[in-house]
Amino acid sequence: MKISRTTWFRIAAVAFILLLAGLMMIIGRGHTIYLDDKTLEKDGKTWQALYRIDASVAGSTQEPQTLYARERVLFTVMGQKATLHLQYMEAKGGDKVPVDVSIRIPYGMDGVIVNLPALLAGESQDVFLSEFITVPDVGDTSAEVVVTDEFAVTDI
Amino acid sequence: MKNRKTGYEAPLEKISPARKVLGFARDNTVPLMFILICAICIPLSGFSVNYLLAEIVTRISRNSFLILSLLIPIMAGMGLNFGMTLGAMAGEIGLILVSDWQIWGIPGMVLAMIISIPISIGLGVLCGKIMNMAKGREMITGYIMNYFINGIYQLIVLYAMGVVIPIIHSSIILPRGYGIRNTVSLLAMRQSLDNLIAIRINGVKIPVMTFVVIALLCLFIVWFRKTKLGQDMRAVGQDMEVARAAGINVERTRIISIVISTVLAGFGMIIYLQNMGNLSTYTAHSQIGMFCIAALLVGGASVDRATIGNVFLGVTLFHLMFIVAPSAGTALMGDSMIGEYFRVFVSYAVITLALIMYETKKRKASSKAARELALAQKLEEENK
């Protein structure tokens, strides 16, 4: 069976649209990065919180943020790669050390927690990165009344 | 002057300037009425020129794409496509899914548009086929179709989403575990198109990229009119029987026009909602067709004729009235609700008025044509 030129064009158009959709799913996937300056204990090892860290994320429209020991800030990013610009001070009055680090965010995770002391200590991603799991709202299930049609037919 | 229908050459009559003005006023009653309303309401509202300009620019960028989607069915003689709401629903489904998949910004918008395409095509084909069964009554058919498809939309969004269609985020799904919340936040893509390239002139933000997209659609419409399909649509719009005799597949052409309009309405709804930054799941689409059609009619369009110019004039005047009416109502009566009622009343009134005027003009034209035909026959008999 010979496939006409029109059919080829249609197949090409559908393939292009599917490819575009796939590309959009990859480049547009949004993640929330929670940066923690908290002491982390894992597998018997401890990474102490740092005195102060100035953080920003490349490509983000958000302003740089400062976090002190036991604090958390969040950034939103698109795509699976994020480059963090960090400037940390181990103790009060110490020198500021600038560091640029790139991390890969797993596609399936909406939010990730990045423990900065572990990251700056050069640990692997398995150590400093964990998934941020949102606790689902299990409150009153009748809390939201759905309004579908203000002109709905009622019993009159 | 040669009559197009009868071919009869009537003696040239000199039209006085007064009659010319009267004719212009009669042909542009609705826009003139709105210019008058705005001229009265703007000083009463007390808004600054800059504020009004900023609001108008925002609303032109937000609504123009949706209103432009109405032009192609008018070209095909199918009147004002109340069925554009179907496309709006398709766009909303795309946005709900994209929000749940956490695809943000421009990629989120593009993906929502891609998702809306097959849904819009399916609904457009259904709508077009039903309209073909109800030729001459397309507008009321489209209007009732909205209610029918809205029921299916609600069934899908309220019961299938979360059960059949996986929705995982608790910010989108109802606490009971299925169905979508009344409002879906589009914060992650809010004004992403508007802010892609935006300039400020005198404090007025111009969303350049949105206007580029609108300009591209205008160019597409201008180009489309010149294509074979566009010419076919115009022929079908002028006379279906003549078009059929000329070998045009009238039914297919009409369906294509509705499909194009529905797909464009889906895109338009996504552009509209990205500007708003949130989606009212069950009500966002319900009035959109009505307001778009009202805006187009305010711009001087009619059931059988609409231009790109009508879109921009209409959206400017209609939304200017929307902006100033509540404040003008407060200044006049001490109650902003007067203005709210006024603008809703005017929206419906303008559609009613335009439909009445269209019918009156059509009847006048057909009786004039009949009179001229009778005169031509009489002259022919006399010549014999």
Please say if the pLDDT value at position B1 is more than 60.
no
Average pLDDT of A135-155?
A: 60
> Which of A75, A64, A62, A66 is closest to A112 using CA atoms?
A75
For residue B257, pLDDT over 70 is answered with yes
Question: With respect to CATH, is domain B27-383 assigned 1.10.10?
Answer: no
Length of chain B: 384
A chain contacts of residue B102, beta-carbon cutoff 8 Å: 29-31, 110
Residues 166-225, chain B: which have Cβ within 8 Å of A? Answer: 169-170, 174-176, 179, 181-182, 188
| B343-346: long-range contacts, CB 8 A cutoff, minimum separation 24 | B346/B37, B346/B321
Categorize the per-residue pLDDT at B222 as very low, low, confident or very high, splitting at 50, 70 and 90. very high
Two tokens, residue B191: 């004004």
Contact between A148 and B154 using a beta-carbon 8 Å cutoff: yes
- Distance between CA atoms of B96 and B99, rounded to whole angstroms? 5
Q: Which residues of B touch A29 (CB under 8 A)?
A: 101-104
Q: Do B104 and A30 touch (CB under 8 A)?
A: yes
| Cα-to-chain-centroid distance, residue A109 | 7
Q: What is the pLDDT of residues B276-306, one digit of tens each?
A: 999 999 988 988 888 899 899 989 898 888 9
- The answer to whether the CB atoms of A144 and B182 lie below 8 A apart is yes
Name the pLDDT band for B10 (thresholds 50, 70, 90): low
Comparing alpha-carbon positions, the chain B residue that sits nearest to A77 is: B104
Beta-carbon separation of B175 and A137 below 8 A: yes
CB contact under 8 Å between B182 and A147, yes or no, is yes
Nearest CA in chain B to A145: B182
A96-106 pLDDT per residue, tens? 999 999 999 99
- How is chain A split into domains, by residue range? 30-131
Q: Which of A 56-115 lie inside 8 A of B, CB atoms? A: 76, 78, 110
B268 touches chain A (CB under 8 A): no
The reply to whether CATH 1.25.40 applies to domain A30-131 is no
What is the least distance, in Å, from the CA of B99 to any CA of chain A? 10
In chain B, domain spans: 27-383
More confident call, B305 vs B120: B120
A44 inside 8 A of chain B by CB: no
pLDDT at B333: 81
**Is the Cβ of A17 closer than 8 Å to some Cβ of chain B?**
yes
Asked if the C-beta of A153 comes within 8 angstroms of chain B's C-beta atoms, the answer is no
Query: How crowded is the C-beta side of A75, counted as CA atoms within 13 Å?
Result: 26
Predicted confidence (pLDDT) per residue in B326-379, tens digit: 888 888 888 777 777 777 777 778 778 878 887 888 888 888 888 989 999 989
Q: Phi and psi (nearest 5°) for A65?
A: -125, 150
**Helix or strand (DSSP H, E) at A81:** strand A81-89
Verify whether the Cβ–Cβ distance B102 to A29 is below 8 Å: yes
What average pLDDT is seen over chain B?
A: 90
